[in-house]
Amino acid sequence: MEFIAEEGGGDKTMKSVVHQKNILSSVMTKMKKNRENKEETVFRKIDLSGMSLNSLSNPSLNLSLITKLDLSNNNLKTIPESLTARLLNLLELDVHSNQLTSLPNSIGCLSKLQVLNVSANLLKILPKSVDDCKCLEELNANFNRLETISKTMGYELSNLQKLSLNSNKLSFLPQSISHITTLRILDVHLNALQSLPEGLESLIHLKILNISQNFHRLCSIPPSIGLLMSLTELDISYNSISILPNSLGCLGKLKIFHAQGNPLVSPPMEIVEESIEAVRSYLNARMIGEEHEPRNKQSWFGSLIRCNSQSDVMPKMTTLSRNSSIDEKASPRYMSIFSPLRILSPGRTPK
C-alpha cells in the first residue's frame, strides 16, 4: 500500500501514515481471528481413525467443544463412560470397524447427537440410553450381532430419518418403529425377521424399505405396506414370500422394486420381472376381481379400495357392492386400518 504526499503537506503525510497503521492493524487482527477460527474448527472435529488404538486415555482437553469425533477403524474394545459423558456438544460419533462388545450407558448424555455410526463391531445389544439421544437423525448399526433393539426406541427417537440395522440377528422389530414418522430409510436386510411391525402405515415419509435376505423366515408382508405412499424403493428379494398383497398396487411413487429369490405365485415371477407397472396392473386387476381372480375370491382390501395405478395420489374409494365378499381371514384390525374414514382423514394424508 503506497501513500504519496504532496510537498508542504506534512499534516496529510502524518494522517496517511496513521491511516496505514490502522489498516494494517485491522488486517492483522482479522488474520489472527481467522487463524483462531481455523484452529477451533480443527479442534472441534477430531479424527483418530485408523491409528490401531487399543484403548482411549482420558484427555486433558475440553471435550465439550468437540462436535465430531471419528474413532473408526481401530481396535477399541470399550469406550470409557467418562469420555462420552463429557462430549456434551457432540453432533457426530463414528466408531465403526472396532471390536466393541458394548457401548457406554453414558451415551445417553449426548443430547445433541445427530449421527451415530457403530457398524462393524461385536454388539449384541444397544444400551437403552440410546433412546435419550433425542436429536438423533441417523443410526447405523449394520454388521453387528444384534438380537434385539429397545422396544421403546420408536417412541423416543422422534427425529430419526435413517435407521440401518442390516446384517444382524434380529427376529422382530419393535412395534414402536411405526411411531418414527420422520423415517425416510429403513434397512433391515440380512437378518432373521419373521414379520414386520404393525402400524407401518404411519411411516408416511418412508422412501426406501429394504427387507431382503431374511430367507425362509419372512413369508409375507402386511397389507398396510400399501399405505406407504412416499415409498420409491422396495426390496423384498430372497425371502419366502409367495403372494404379494393387493395393496402393493397402490404405491404410485414406487420406481424400484426387487423381488427375485422368492417363490412368488401371485403375481407370477415373469410379471415381476417385466416391470413395476406390470405388477401394479396385475395387483389392481386382482384387487377388483377382474381377469386374474374369480369374484368369490376377491380380496377384502380390494372390496374397499380401488387404485388408479397411474396416479400418485391416495387411492379412490369405492363402496361395497352387493355381490362383493370380504375375505374371511381378514383381521378386524386391518379392516379398521383400511376403512375410508381412516385413509382419508387429514392426519393420514401423505405430504
- The pLDDT score that the predictor gives to residue 345 is 39
- The pLDDT score that the predictor gives to residue 351 is 40
Phi, psi of 71 (to 5 degrees): -115, 20
For the question of whether the overall pTM of this predicted structure is more than 0.85, the answer is no
Superfamily of domain 84-288: Ribonuclease Inhibitor (3.80.10.10)
Mean pLDDT per 10-residue segment, the chain (351 residues): 38 47 45 49 81 84 91 96 93 98 96 98 97 97 96 95 98 95 98 94 97 96 95 98 95 96 96 95 85 44 42 38 37 42 40 40
* 199 in Cβ contact with 174 (< 8 Å): no
Integer Cα distance of 143 and 119 in angstroms:
6
Integer Cα distance of 205 and 249 in angstroms:
18
Q: List the chain domain ranges.
A: 84-288
Phi, psi of 268 (to 5 degrees): -65, 155
- The pLDDT score that the predictor gives to residue 137 is 98
